[in-house]
Structure 1
Amino acid sequence: MEAPITVDRLRFLLYSVKEKLWVKPLGFCLLSIFAVFVAKVADGTSLAEHIPEIKPESVETLLSIMASSMMVIATFSAGTMVNAYASASQSSTPRSLSLIISDDVSQNALSVFIGAFIYSAVALTAMTQAFFDEAGLFILFCLTCLAFSIVILTFIRWVDSVARLGRVGSTLLKVERATTRAIKNRIDMPCLGAVPQEQIKEQGTYAIYTKQVGYIQLIDIAKLQKSADKNDSFINVAMLPGEFVSPERVIAYSNKKVVSDEIVDAFTIGEARSFEADPRFGFIVLAEIASRALSPSVNDHGTAINTISSITRLMLLWHKPKSETDNSQKNSAQHEEFKYDRISLPALNVNDLFDDAYTSIARDGAANIEVAIRIQKSLKTIKACFKNEGTIIERDFFEAASKLATQSYERAKLALDYEDDIKRIERVYNNH
């Protein structure tokens, strides 16, 4: 029996929840209210016989300090986060905003501050109504001390993080990490567990369309498999996550006439692309960061060079030592089995991947000799790692890197004016 939800869909849902700023604060607020009433439970036990006496005035003083300060700190942290989001959009690219919003340190800090305020307000109100006896008062005192400790530790950690929140270097690192996760997930399941499209002889007679306009954020392969099993059909998915869909574009084909809504419902379509299921989107965002750094108003070629280094590391995630490649080929030859055998998906287009990563940087940095040379060195590294490899994807990487190296070299020759710079780029290119 197939699982009702795939790992990819679960990962996508968790990422979507992380993008909502209200989820964690709401959870902490409910937890803080629950903690106050947990203290009341102690009044029904014999705990009062074994604990020291706590004066209500001391607990009220601690709660009053927390109630008066936490809302101010929470307001300050929210303002700081909003400024960081605006700074990230201006200094890097608006497409990175979702990663900054989902920053765990900032979300946890805001949630703790708001939760501590709600806890102190509710506990203080309960105390003024003589809600607690001796045991409950002691537990409340312990919880208040614990809350103070958590607030202090969270604030210290948040201060260290907020200094980098929204900065170009921090944003670049977040984008690289998100893209790394997407690439590793795609390497583990190149076609999301479905049959590679090149192994399918027939495309399918019946075309499936959607009325929505936007980007495919997720494809629920398990849902498609369930539909295909029910109809005894085979579904050939025509588009990958990250591609733009509209009513005139075919999203899938079926070899039998089926209810198209069942297939369309498996596609999550939104206004923007998502990092989690779309490795290409990470490269696009990195290229945008580099292009903005190379603009005349910014003129920060160091950031562009750092971005090219990130792209190089990400591209090399597809590279495996020859021994691992031979073993994987033997295993795939012996076990040609697919989890979703009634679904086919196209493979990731390597040429599009390189175009997303390098073309805009090569265009905008053509007149900058440092950037042009770094692009050549990056592509040289990729070519060296994928040279003389046997698999199709490795040959595709070598050919795409060679093509981009030539294009970048030609752009640089046209843009550079100084003769020595032209000779430098020629030496680096001819040394490939």
Structure 2
Amino acid sequence: MWDRIVFRVNRLRERLWVRPLTFCLLSVVAALLARFANGLEIADQLPAINPDSIKILLSITASSMLVIATLAVASMVSAYASAASTATPRAFSLLISDDVSKNALSIFMGAFIYTFVSLVALENGFYQRGGNFVLFILTIAVLAWVILTFVRWVDWIARLGRIGTTVDKVEEATMSALCNRRLLPSLGGAAATNDVTQGTPVFATKIGYVQHVNMSALQACAEAQETRVTVSAIPGAFASPGRPLLHLEESDINESEVDLGPMRDAFELGKKRVYDSDPRFGLIALSEIASRALSPAVNDPGTAIEIMGSFVRLFSEFTQPLEEDENTEAKYDRVFVPLLSGRELLDDSFRPIVRDGAGIVELQVRVQKTLQSIASMGDKNLANAAKQMSRSALRRSELDMSFKHDIEAVASAARWSADD
């Protein structure tokens, strides 16, 4: 249940309107709560504030906040468009959930609503001596908050749509997903060691990508049916009526006698993939950014080379040994989930880059060094997959390069993966 709540909250964070609406409601509450200072015992001892001075501050703030909020929206949209055109559209959800930008827009909108409500209340005699003092203090605090936010936001928005910022955000999201999968390689269930297609298949009734699997719900269903289930469609898989979501262990189970609705409902399906529990999606996004940088229109192999460093950091963290306090015991012993394939992870990461940059010697040398680093991290499956990818990259380079010394440089860098 908690995992599903976190999943829903993360989806709300991707909505641009949620936080501004919250700040607007809080601003209205703050403006109205100032009235309660009228009834305080110390209200008569508070300094008397001229309401006209408060009106001037509120009027200046109100007239400028709407302009600044409009500027913030226009700048954010421009940054999103720039990131989509220079990096990858798959990074849009990460950019729109950026806390700095959303906080800035929320504060600007909240300040505008606060000043509007406060002006109306002030003009209608809503506040007395104590209320005027509290309203004055609140207005000064709001102005200071707006100024500090604006200064910070200007510095951030200048970098938001840049390729480097986008790469950092995608790497951060991918790192989080890989770390979660490192701790829970089978999503909290047992590792599926047998063929995941064995048993009675349960098909999806909708079409879309698996965004989240509610493991506790599957465990409850398996216990109720006194069976075991093997998940066939892990987060990131494309579900369709012809592709099973899972398989029931008992092959003689009659689907007409079993309520399969709760099992299907345990799979959150959507039109797009999400980064939360789908580390392969993050690797694909990074690969897309590098592939676009290698296109003739952009011709920026340096970005692809920098992303090689991202891959080393990601796989290094993913292959770290578990600490003693990191418990990875299967909480859901009736649910079996396949592990991530090292070959698929490296295919997602390197294949587009190797294909599109086969003729760039600097990039291919870096690819070979990156694969060698991944192979030396201690994971046998990743090591074997890295050697296969290294040989494939070398063959592509030999077919695409015409200069002998370039081919020799790549071959020298790939010597570590030569067949024994």
Task: Tell me which interval the TM-score lies in, with the shorter structure as reference length.
Answer: over 0.9
Give the aligned residue type for 1:234: R
SS at match of 2:247: strand
Selected match of 2:350 from 326, 334, 358: 358
% identical aligned pairs? 42
How far has the Cα of 1:206 moved from its partner? Answer: 2.4
Per the alignment, residue 260 of structure 1 pairs with 260
Per the alignment, residue 175 of structure 1 pairs with 170
What TM-score results when the alignment is normalised by the length of structure 1? Answer: 0.92
Selected match of 1:150 from 142, 145, 148: 145
How far has the Cα of 1:262 moved from its partner? Answer: 1.0
Aligned length: 411
Selected match of 2:371 from 379, 389, 400: 379
Deviations 1:240-261, CA, capped at 9 Å, x for gaps: 1001111011111123442111
**2:182/2:319 contact within 8 Å kept:** no
Give the aligned residue type for 1:228: A
**2:196/2:231 contact within 8 Å kept:** no
User: Could you tell me how far apart the structure 1 residues matched to 2:349 and 2:391 are?
Assistant: 15
**2:205/2:240 contact within 8 Å kept:** yes
Q: Structure 1 residues 55, 83: CA separation in 2 closer, same or farther (over 3 Å shift)?
A: same
User: Could you tell me how far apart the structure 2 residues matched to 1:284 and 1:379 are?
Assistant: 17
SS at match of 1:296: coil
**2:23/2:106 contact within 8 Å kept:** yes
Per the alignment, residue 2 of structure 2 pairs with 6
**1:238/1:251 contact within 8 Å kept:** yes
How far has the Cα of 1:214 moved from its partner? Answer: 1.2
Per the alignment, residue 398 of structure 2 pairs with 413
Which of 361-370 and 413-422 deviates more? 413-422
User: Could you tell me how far apart the structure 2 residues matched to 1:173 and 1:12 are?
Assistant: 22
Gap runs ≥5 in structure 2:
none
**2:196/2:247 contact within 8 Å kept:** no
How far has the Cα of 1:202 moved from its partner? Answer: 8.9
Deviations 1:193-236, CA, capped at 9 Å, x for gaps: 111111x6896642211121111000011111122222322221
User: Could you tell me how far apart the structure 1 residues matched to 2:393 and 2:6 are?
Assistant: 37
Which of 39-48 and 153-162 deviates more? 39-48
**2:177/2:279 contact within 8 Å kept:** yes
Give the aligned residue type for 1:6: W
**1:48/1:134 contact within 8 Å kept:** yes
Per the alignment, residue 229 of structure 2 pairs with 235
How far has the Cα of 1:384 moved from its partner? Answer: 2.1
Per the alignment, residue 203 of structure 2 pairs with 209
How far has the Cα of 1:15 moved from its partner? Answer: 1.6
User: Could you tell me how far apart the structure 1 residues matched to 2:196 and 2:82 are?
Assistant: 50
**2:196/2:232 contact within 8 Å kept:** no
**1:6/1:220 contact within 8 Å kept:** no
Deviations 1:369-409, CA, capped at 9 Å, x for gaps: 111011000001112222xxxxxxx2101100000000011
**1:6/1:222 contact within 8 Å kept:** no
What TM-score results when the alignment is normalised by the length of structure 2? Answer: 0.94
User: Could you tell me how far apart the structure 2 residues matched to 1:189 and 1:54 are?
Assistant: 60
User: Could you tell me how far apart the structure 1 residues matched to 2:357 and 2:122 are?
Assistant: 65
How far has the Cα of 1:105 moved from its partner? Answer: 0.2
1:370 has 2:366 as partner: no
SS at match of 1:164: helix
Selected match of 2:383 from 398, 407, 414: 398
User: Could you tell me how far apart the structure 1 residues matched to 2:143 and 2:363 are?
Assistant: 50
Q: Structure 1 residues 328, 38: CA separation in 2 closer, same or farther (over 3 Å shift)?
A: closer
**1:81/1:106 contact within 8 Å kept:** yes
SS at match of 2:273: coil
Per the alignment, residue 391 of structure 1 pairs with none
Per the alignment, residue 390 of structure 1 pairs with none
Per the alignment, residue 389 of structure 1 pairs with none
SS at match of 1:341: strand
Give the aligned residue type for 2:410: I
**2:235/2:277 contact within 8 Å kept:** yes
User: Could you tell me how far apart the structure 2 residues matched to 1:384 and 1:236 are?
Assistant: 32
Gap runs ≥5 in structure 1:
387-393
1:341 has 2:333 as partner: yes
1:276 has 2:271 as partner: no
1:122 has 2:117 as partner: yes
SS at match of 1:240: coil
Q: Structure 1 residues 425, 204: CA separation in 2 closer, same or farther (over 3 Å shift)?
A: closer
Selected match of 1:189 from 181, 184, 188: 184
User: Could you tell me how far apart the structure 1 residues matched to 2:141 and 2:370 are?
Assistant: 51
User: Could you tell me how far apart the structure 2 residues matched to 1:243 and 1:116 are?
Assistant: 44
Aligned ranges for residues 287-306 of structure 1 at < 5 Å? 287-306=287-306
How far has the Cα of 1:308 moved from its partner? Answer: 1.2
**1:12/1:277 contact within 8 Å kept:** no
Q: Structure 1 residues 169, 363: CA separation in 2 closer, same or farther (over 3 Å shift)?
A: same
User: Could you tell me how far apart the structure 1 residues matched to 2:196 and 2:401 are?
Assistant: 50
Q: Structure 1 residues 201, 167: CA separation in 2 closer, same or farther (over 3 Å shift)?
A: closer
User: Could you tell me how far apart the structure 1 residues matched to 2:339 and 2:365 are?
Assistant: 31
User: Could you tell me how far apart the structure 2 residues matched to 1:175 and 1:98 are?
Assistant: 10
Give the aligned residue type for 2:90: R
User: Could you tell me how far apart the structure 1 residues matched to 2:140 and 2:325 are?
Assistant: 55
1:220 has 2:214 as partner: yes
1:245 has 2:239 as partner: yes
Give the aligned residue type for 1:409: L
**2:286/2:349 contact within 8 Å kept:** yes
User: Could you tell me how far apart the structure 2 residues matched to 1:239 and 1:431 are?
Assistant: 36
User: Could you tell me how far apart the structure 2 residues matched to 1:407 and 1:50 are?
Assistant: 81
